[in-house]
Amino acid sequence: MGENLVIVESPTKEKTLKTFLGKDFTVKASIGHIRDLSEKKLSIDVKNGFTPVYEIPAKKKKVVAELAAEAKKAQIVWLASDEDREGEAIAWHLAETLKLDPARTRRIAFHEITKTAILNAIDNPREIDMNLVMAQQARRVLDRLVGFELSPVLWKKVQRGLSAGRVQSVALRLIVDREREIEAFKPEPFFKVEAIFTAKGVKQPVKALLDKKFTDVKEALGFLEKCRNAEFRIRSIEKKEGTRTPAAPFTTSSLQQEAARKLGFSVSQTMTTAQTLYERGLITYMRTDSTNLSTLALGTTKDTVIKLYGQQYSKVRNYQTKVKGAQEAHEAIRPTFVNNTDIEGSPAERKLYNLIWKRCVASQMADAKIEKTAITIEADGLEERFIAQGEVIVFDGFLKVYRESFDDVEDEEAVKLPALDQGASLTASSITATERFTQKPPRYSEASLVKKIEELGIGRPSTYEPTVKTIQKRGYVTKGDKEGTPREYTVLSLKDGVVAQRTESEITGAEKKKLLPENIGMVVTDFLAANFADILDYGFTAKVEEDLDKIESGKIPWNRSIAEFYDKFIAEVGKSLEDKSYTNAKRELGTDPASGKPVIARIGKFGPLVQKGSNDDPEKQFISLPKGVLIENVTLEEALKLFELPRLPRNIGSYKGLDIVASTGRFGPYIKYDGKFISIGKGGDPFTITEEEAVALIEAAARKSLPIADFKDSGIQVLHGRYGAYIKQGGNNYKIPKGVEAESLTESQCLEIIAAQDKK
């Protein structure tokens, strides 16, 4: 048994540290926090300075007992949780719960899990930073007060089972406000004029845009008529040298945004993958708002750049962290060993590591040198001028390694203009005026929401992912696609002296993987805005974050900002509970022409619905609003069509003498057959699925329930599973290696796989 016990948060981190430390060290994982506030009660003594009452959850009692036993055996206990507020709080809870002797307890922290960093931390232990602990405690207590006190209000006023959170409610408001901004947006048409010019003796045509946009067809037609006999020439050619500078190394926010744009990762996938890379010792700590690199990292990155690309590509840079209150970590996200250009791991891990490596290396490379050319084209009788713009990369610099997603320069040929002389005559091969429209603001994606939260100062790196995840988990927001709608537009063209007009169509407004507010999310936002303005106020939420930063730096007591907030907040809670009215998002859509009854869209006990008939009508009818259809947008025509659809559950036929019923539930649309529930799938529609389609699903499910292979002598089965095929023997399951087809497995191959995994 080792003389030293090192306690970390996760099994992966435990495994990595074991490879660095010798036999004198025992490494164990606490698996996150070992104690917390009760899940069932407030657990905060409001009258005594908002003192939290912590307890050990039942699921953690075994872990605590094991750690306590190991701590008694060790001469020194090293608390090696992460270096941010949450990690410091974990270390403090461990010391308190395990009743560790301060004389035999050391707190160590490191920004990267490398042997050098670990041994350096052991050589330089410190005490637990109580300012960090109190900052974490202040956040935890404030969020518990808001959530615990607001939930009963929402249950009474809106719908049972709802909950609210401080930062999450503000994030939800951003999404709801943006949706309403989009709905209120009225696109304004304009005409954008583009011309293709040719010059005598020059093969490459020149594409140019007019320096003016026209507001209507008449104006655009008038301009084309003036161009019919115009003689064009080059008025001026201006060349300027410019540079492009690389972006700073990744922070939590910028990593989430770039991984979404370049890799298609969700915020949760990015952080889960980054956590694994960190715990494997491959990257530095991934929750940070700092863009700094250590002196050692600057030196090793410089050496790598010179070795791979040459001295002319190297430029050492120190970036200033721009985020206000950036304190939780002191270095950007970077590879721990920049000379490792690739790693072993899952496809997601390798992709994310590659992105981090490129961003870090590019940040220490020379500027790209760009030559920009602007050609101004004029004609007698025209006030307007055409402008052709081009860029040529003279020296690629950091672009050799990394381009940000919004870079518009893909290669030299795409932007290079031909060599032309000032005063040269040009022929307009074609001039086209295309009707365009002002663009509505885009809906938030997970990554762009994180960016907005960061800009407003209403969150910190450790809160971005849980905030985005929570509003979706609560059903206030869904991530999905928005279908576009067809739109006609006018195209005017001048070619060979003839002006023509035609109408074309396009799909507009289509968006993918965006955060879409649900009806209940909009109702909750409206209720909170009307009754708890501070909760949804961006300035208030940002001030709370600033106060937490002040607590962390020891400038104010941890419970001062809570006391300032609580009295007003609890009074508003009491006022809302005393009010007997029920908040019900209700909208009268009109009258049903057939029956003369009023048609209303509203929130019901089980969600948003359309009601035909008044509340006192004994024959009133209800039908649920489909997912994605909002109460404030649904039309009378759309509502009446819902009543024409078959009602759910819907009998769609039979198979082998048993009925097939289609319906929808908590996990989406499904069919029910022989007591079993079979998912129709995301794109399936329980209102339109046919008997033939349902039978195909039933037969496919039956095939999946049968073993792929059954070797009875050895008790081995190859089975279909939720995440793919697997091997089962006795009570144990075994993963089938990548590249191995389950259908081709023999009994002896299964035994080899089982033996290899048992040994491991």
Is 387 among the domain residues? yes
Phi, psi of 70 (to 5 degrees): -70, -40
**Length of the chain, please?**
760
Q: Do both 681 and 719 map to the same domain? A: no
Domain with residue 409: its CATH number is: 2.70.20.10
DSSP string, 615-662: TT-TT-EEEEPPTT--TTT--HHHHHHHHHSPPSSEEEEEETTEEEEE
Look at residues 299, 333, 363 and tell me which one is the last residue of a structural domain.
363
Tell me which residue range forms the domain holding 735.
709-759
Q: Do both 373 and 238 map to the same domain? A: yes
Q: Do both 396 and 352 map to the same domain? A: no
DSSP 8-class letter at 409: -
SS (H, E, C) 368-408: EEEEEEEEEEEECCCCCCEEEEEEEEEECHHHHCCCCCCCC
Place of tokens 């009133």: 620
What the block records as the tokens of 172 is: 């939800």
Look at residues 387, 422, 437 and tell me which one is the last residue of a structural domain.
437
Whole-model pTM: value is 0.81
Q: What is the pLDDT of residues 485-540, one digit of tens each?
A: 999 999 999 999 999 999 999 999 999 999 999 999 999 999 999 889 888 999 98
Is 12 among the domain residues? yes
Q: Do both 391 and 415 map to the same domain? A: yes
Is 241 among the domain residues? yes
Handedness of CA 608, 613, 617, 619 (dihedral sign): negative
**SS3 assignment, position 548:** helix
Q: What is the pLDDT of residues 208-233, one digit of tens each?
A: 999 999 999 999 999 999 999 899 99
DSSP string, 416-472: PPPP--TT-EEEEEEEEEEEEEPPPPPPPPHHHHHHHHHHHT---HHHHHHHHHHHH
Q: What is the CA radius of gyration of the chain?
A: 32
Q: Do both 629 and 668 map to the same domain? A: no
Is 48 among the domain residues? yes
Maximum Cα interatomic distance, the chain, rounded to a whole number of Å: 96
Q: Do both 115 and 209 map to the same domain? A: no
Q: Do both 717 and 692 map to the same domain? A: no
733: Cα separation from own chain's centroid: 33
DSSP string, 61-114: HHHHHHHHHHHHH-SEEEE---SSHHHHHHHHHHHHHTT--GGGEEE---SB-S
Q: Do both 747 and 689 map to the same domain? A: no
How far apart, in whole angstroms, are the C-alpha atoms of residue 286 and residue 306?
27
Look at residues 390, 409, 437 and tell me which one is the last residue of a structural domain.
437
Q: Do both 273 and 317 map to the same domain? A: yes
What the block records as the tokens of 190 is: 């304009």
Q: Do both 44 and 67 map to the same domain? A: yes
Domain with residue 324: its CATH number is: 1.10.290.10
How far apart, in whole angstroms, are the C-alpha atoms of residue 373 and residue 753?
63
Is 349 among the domain residues? yes
Place of tokens 């095939």: 703
Is 504 among the domain residues? no
Which position among 278, 285, 309, 444 bears the catalytic label?
285
Number of structural domains the chain divides into: 6
pLDDT at 649: 83
pLDDT at 622: 85
Q: Do both 690 and 727 map to the same domain? A: no
Annotation says 285 is catalytic: yes
**Regions of the chain short of the pLDDT cut 50:** 1, 327-328, 406-414
Domain with residue 105: its CATH number is: 3.40.50.140
How far apart, in whole angstroms, are the C-alpha atoms of residue 303 and residue 82?
29
Is 530 among the domain residues? no
Pairing type for strands 716-719 and 25-29 reads: unpaired
How far apart, in whole angstroms, are the C-alpha atoms of residue 363 and residue 314?
10
Is 594 among the domain residues? yes
pLDDT at 408: 39
Identify whether the C-beta of residue 608 lies closer than 8 Å to the C-beta of residue 601. yes
Q: Do both 655 and 723 map to the same domain? A: no
**SS3 assignment, position 192:** strand
Q: Which of 330, 338, 370, 368 is nearest to 356 (CA)?
A: 338
Q: Which of 266, 218, 238 is nearest to 373 (CA)?
A: 238
